[in-house]
Every structure is written in C-alpha cells, then in structure tokens.
C-alpha cells in the first residue's frame, strides 16, 4: 500500500513515520510513504498557496490550483489511490473505516488543509471527507497521522501478536470490549493484581476477562 501525504509541513510527520510500527509496516507489509510538499506546487516566485476568500472574511484559504497539481502528481504515482480530506465537516471516522481502508487494495492520498480552510472546488477531487472527532484542529496533519496509524497497524504483519488487532477495543464501532490488564509487580502502592490472573487457571481467567470487559 502506498500512502502519499500532501502537506505544507512534511517535517511534522518525521517522528511518526520513524516509529517502530511504521518501520515494520514498510519492511513487513510493503507500505510505502511519500511526503509531498505542497509548497513546490505554489504559484509564482513566492510559491503562493493561500489567498483571501471571495466575499470577505477572516484569514486565508488554500487556493485550488496547487492542491489540484499536487493531487495530480500523486495520482500519477498511484492512479487508483483514494483521496482523503481531513476536515471537521467530514464524516466521523471510526474503526470500521480504518478496517475498510486497510482491507482495500488501493493506496491513499491524504491532503492536509491549513489556514482557515480551502476553496470548495478542491472537494471535486476528493473521495472521502473525514472528521476524526468533534473538535477543531489547526490543520489536517494530525488527523492524517491518526488515519495512517489506525490503518497501517491493521495491515497483515504489522502488529506483533496476530490476535492483538482482533481482541482490542473498538472492535465494533463504539463498543469498548477490552479487559483491564496487569503486569509486574503483583502489588504496587497497595494495589494488588486480581488473584485470578495469578492463578494460572485459563478458564477462570477467560471468565474474569469476559466479565470485566468495558
């Protein structure tokens, strides 16, 4: 799977893409990341990408031509890729979306808006508008990282334990089904690990875990 990100701030992705999970994704699951600097598609000697909105209003909007050119560039690399636009006006992103995107053969092109927004005509080249939560962030970069992380970890070979992705929280949208877990030491600050987990009794442990899912 090829994941291309169109952004004015490629450096924001360095930490995330250099994490061990993303390395595994590249080595074990054949994921390819491409950061596309939107500035290089900017207009004129100053490589302009933003302009004031028609009709007045605060701030600047991203003009459509550089975004179109960047998406065209990305599409040349991966013609079947789905184009995603993180926006608070999008559809609320859920685990089922991560699964769908991970299960789909096609790559992803994620355009990260900045400033006060974008010219609406940009949406013509977008397949999905995605909101990651009911709050407003400064740009599309953090939502893009969230989407990438949630999709990539579901690709076969990326997570350590084969079962980890299947048994964890949010297996079904909105339903928390993970049980509490404990590790060493057996007692910490007066708090003890439940006896059943130390018992070695697998049936009892399963029962306890089922009863304590939340």
* Helical (H) or strand (E) element with 7: strand 2-7
3 state DSSP class of 91: strand
**Omega before 185 within 30 of 0, i.e. cis:** yes
d(CA 152, CA 25): 7
176 binds ligand ADE (CB under 6 A): no
Determine the distance from the C-alpha atom of residue 27 to the mean position of all C-alpha atoms in its chain, rounded to a whole number. 19
Q: Is the CB of residue 147 less than 8 Å from the CB of residue 109?
A: no
Q: Return the exposure string of 107-130: e unless at least 16 CB atoms fall within 10 Å of the residue's CB, then b.
A: bbbbbbbbbebbbeebeebbebeb
Task: CB nearer to ligand ADE: give 41 or 118.
Answer: 118
Residues 71-110, one symbol each (x = binds ligand ADE by CB under 6 A, - = not), give ---------------xxx----------------------
d(CA 199, CA 202): 8
Q: Which residue is nearest to ligand ADE (CB)?
A: 86
Q: By CB under 6 A, which span of 13-21, 38-46, 130-138, 205-213 interacts with ligand ADE?
A: 130-138
Task: CB nearer to ligand ADE: give 24 or 97.
Answer: 97
Q: Is the CB of residue 74 less than 8 Å from the CB of residue 34?
A: yes
Residues 133-172 that bind ligand ADE (CB under 6 A): 133, 135-137, 140, 143
59 binds ligand ADE (CB under 6 A): no
Residues in the chain, overall count: 214
Q: Out of 29, 69, 77, 131, which residue is the one contacting ligand ADE (CB under 6 A)?
A: 131
Task: CB nearer to ligand ADE: give 74 or 112.
Answer: 112
Task: CB nearer to ligand ADE: give 133 or 156.
Answer: 133
Binding site for ligand ADE (CB under 6 A): 86-88, 131-133, 135-137, 140, 143
């Amino acid at each position: 799977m090829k994941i291309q990100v169109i952004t004015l701030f490629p450096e924001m992705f360095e930490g995330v893409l250099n994490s061990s999970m993303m390395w595994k994704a590249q080595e074990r699951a054949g994921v390819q990341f491409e950061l596309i600097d939107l500035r290089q598609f900017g207009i004129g000697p100053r490589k302009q990408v933003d302009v004031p909105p028609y009709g007045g209003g605060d701030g600047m909007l991203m003009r459509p031509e550089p975004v179109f050119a960047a998406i065209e560039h990305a599409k040349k690399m991966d013609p079947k890729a789905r184009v995603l636009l993180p926006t608070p006006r999008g559809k609320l992103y859920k685990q089922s979306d991560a699964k769908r995107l991970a299960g789909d053969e096609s790559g992803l092109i994620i355009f990260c808006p900045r400033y006060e927004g974008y010219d609406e005509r940009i949406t013509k080249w977008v397949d999905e508008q995605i909101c990651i939560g009911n709050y407003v962030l400064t740009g599309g970069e953090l939502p893009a990282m969230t989407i990438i992380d949630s999709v990539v970890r579901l690709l076969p070979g990326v997570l350590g334990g084969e079962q980890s992705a299947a048994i964890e929280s949010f297996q079904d949208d909105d339903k928390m089904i993970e049980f509490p877990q404990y590790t060493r030491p057996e007692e910490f600050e007066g708090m003890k690990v439940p006896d059943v987990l130390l018992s070695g009794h697998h049936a009892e442990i399963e029962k306890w875990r089922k009863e304590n899912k939340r």
